[in-house]
């Protein structure tokens, strides 16, 4: 788990004030980090094109040209000249070395984008858009300095951006690199130090980036156990029975001792899944909403509301005012897992305000934080390419999602994984984090083509995850 920051400006200021470092020292380390990456991954003599802007991000790129010169064939493209004092100083240094400054873009083995930094807020003008489009069409390996040019501080293209193979970011990880809208542009992300260790550079935050080490799988260490020892999940079935079956299958794969589908009798269930017409007496958690439909006025639904059992709510529940009744149960462990369209509906029901999916996607963290300020006891997963998991003031981003999950039923599997952990007694935030990571990591393990994966394939891959007991 790594810290995430909206901006690193205040972290840089700490370096100046508390460690007596200078802007020049931080810049030298930023450029050296990029140079070391290139030296470690590309043979000497390769051609390097560095496209640098007028400010300090451009100065990073100009300093990089100096550090690579003599090892690589370096060309420097300065489409707008240099303006900041740091950029001017760095440019004087490369001039004295005789580094070639060119007037047009040329194909190169390595292309470094150092046009704009992380604070960009204005829309790109036509000249800049034309430059970025031309850079994107070059065939060389593309490296973004700190953040791809054209990505705003909120993580949105303005309206396009440099398409990096890798982004080498400076000092600490930034929220803007992990938005859904930035995912197509950032490539792999690598963070370098700025003259002090990250543990000294960073300060406490309430936003975190998850990784594989944060996955904690359910534990079965004890030997003298029975099926009831590992909980009983009740999955409520409705109009689309397949959704509840997928959730139930996923929950069994993720360690729950018993799973019952509650609904109309069915002859289509796998043998390992039980069924009942009402909530079983020994239930330890509930999964509700997946494929349920719109018929919420019945005894089964009332039994869910009357219960105080931990619950995962998904899908159709976000289109009915009944969700308000659940959210009033502040002493209950509740996890919500909407995708963007469902969240938009949820927002309208709760706050009587219309937002569009595109507006939500451009402001995902903002809306998640606003929701959690009203419902701090609830755990929310806003699904997406980079899912956000939040409770109260803390937000966790899972960056491991992929287009393989863009298929009906994937969310039902997630609900089952979450329900399994809730039923086994894990906290709502631990259940949400580990289930989300398990889903995405199982997806990555699938060896078929990217378009072919089925929800049942994810369930099969879950059994192969490496055990790190929760």
pLDDT at 467: 61
pLDDT at 470: 54
Contacts of 289 (CB under 8 A, 6+ apart): 236, 313, 314, 315, 316, 317, 318, 415
Dihedral sign computed on CA atoms, order 451, 455, 456, 460: positive
Contact call for residues 290 and 314 (beta carbons, < 8 A): yes
CA–CA gap between residue 22 and residue 387 (Å, rounded): 37
Stated pTM of the model: 0.93
> Which tens digit of pLDDT belongs to each residue from 411-423?
999 999 999 999 9
pLDDT at 224: 74
pLDDT at 266: 75
> Which tens digit of pLDDT belongs to each residue from 64-88?
999 999 999 999 999 999 899 999 9
Q: How far is CA 87 from CA 93, 100, 152, in A?
A: 10, 16, 21
Nearest to 176 by CA among 166, 168, 186: 186
DSSP conformation letters of 274-313:
EEESS--TT--EEEE-TT--S---SHHHHHHHH--S-EEE
CA–CA gap between residue 295 and residue 451 (Å, rounded): 34
| Three-state DSSP class for residue 250 | helix
| Cα dihedral 272, 278, 281, 285 in deg (nearest 10) | 70
pLDDT at 6: 93
Q: How far is CA 430 from CA 50, 72, 236, 354, 421, in A?
A: 44, 48, 23, 32, 8
pLDDT at 454: 93
Q: How far is CA 470 from CA 155, 214, 453, in A?
A: 32, 10, 27
CA–CA gap between residue 410 and residue 401 (Å, rounded): 11
Alpha carbon 273 to its chain's center: 33
Q: Could you report the average pLDDT of every consecutive run of 10 residues in the chain (470 residues)?
A: 94 94 94 96 96 93 96 95 92 91 93 87 88 95 96 92 96 95 96 93 96 90 77 90 93 94 82 89 94 79 92 94 94 96 97 96 97 97 97 97 89 96 96 97 90 92 75
* Structural domains of the chain sorted by starting position, each given as residue range(s) with its CATH number in brackets: 2-205 (3.40.50.10260), 213-462 (3.40.1190.20)
């Amino acid at each position: 788990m790594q810290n995430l920051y909206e901006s690193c400006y205040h972290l840089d200021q700490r370096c100046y004030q508390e460690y007596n470092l200078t802007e020049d020292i931080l810049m030298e380390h930023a450029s050296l980090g990029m140079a070391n990456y290139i030296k470690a991954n590309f043979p000497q003599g390769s051609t390097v094109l560095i496209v640098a802007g007028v400010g300090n991000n451009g100065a990073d790129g100009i300093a990089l040209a100096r550090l690579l010169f003599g090892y690589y064939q370096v060309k420097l493209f300065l489409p707008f000249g240099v303006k900041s004092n740091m950029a001017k100083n760095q440019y004087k240094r490369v001039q004295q070395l005789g580094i070639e400054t060119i007037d047009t873009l040329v194909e190169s083995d390595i292309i470094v984008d150092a046009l704009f930094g992380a604070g960009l807020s204005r829309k790109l003008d036509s000249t800049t858009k034309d430059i970025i489009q031309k850079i994107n069409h070059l065939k060389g390996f593309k490296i973004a300095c700190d953040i791809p040019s054209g990505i705003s501080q909120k993580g949105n293209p303005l309206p396009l951006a440099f398409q990096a193979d890798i982004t080498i970011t400076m000092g600490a990880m930034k929220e803007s690199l992990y938005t859904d809208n930035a995912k197509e542009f950032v490539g792999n992300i690598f963070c370098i130090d700025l003259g002090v260790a990250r543990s000294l550079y960073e300060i406490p935050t309430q936003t975190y980036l998850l990784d594989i080490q944060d996955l904690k799988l359910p534990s079965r260490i004890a030997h003298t156990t029975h099926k009831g020892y590992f909980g009983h999940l009740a999955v409520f079935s409705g109009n689309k029975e397949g959704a509840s079956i997928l959730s139930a299958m996923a929950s069994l794969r993720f360690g729950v001792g018993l799973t019952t589908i509650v609904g109309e009798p069915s002859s289509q269930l796998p043998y390992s899944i039980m069924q009942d017409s009402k909530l079983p007496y020994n239930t330890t958690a509930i999964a509700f909403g997946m494929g349920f439909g719109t018929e919420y006025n019945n005894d089964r639904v009332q039994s869910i509301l009357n219960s105080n059992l931990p619950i995962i709510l998904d899908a159709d529940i976000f289109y009915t005012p009944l969700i308000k009744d659940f959210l009033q149960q502040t002493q209950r462990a509740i996890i919500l897992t909407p995708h963007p369209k469902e969240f938009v509906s949820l927002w309208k029901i709760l706050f009587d305000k219309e937002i569009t999916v595109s507006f939500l996607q451009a402001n995902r963290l903002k809306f998640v934080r606003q929701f959690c300020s009203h419902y701090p006891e609830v755990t929310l997963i806003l699904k997406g390419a980079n899912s956000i998991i939040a409770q109260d003031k803390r937000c966790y981003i899972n960056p491991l999602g992929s287009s393989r999950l863009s298929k009906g039923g994937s969310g039902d599997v997630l609900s089952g994984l979450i329900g399994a952990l809730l039923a086994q007694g894990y906290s709502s935030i631990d259940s949400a984090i580990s289930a989300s990571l398990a889903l995405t990591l199982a997806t990555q393990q699938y060896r078929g083509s990217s378009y072919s994966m089925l929800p049942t394939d994810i369930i099969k891959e879950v059994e192969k995850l490496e055990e790190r007991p929760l």
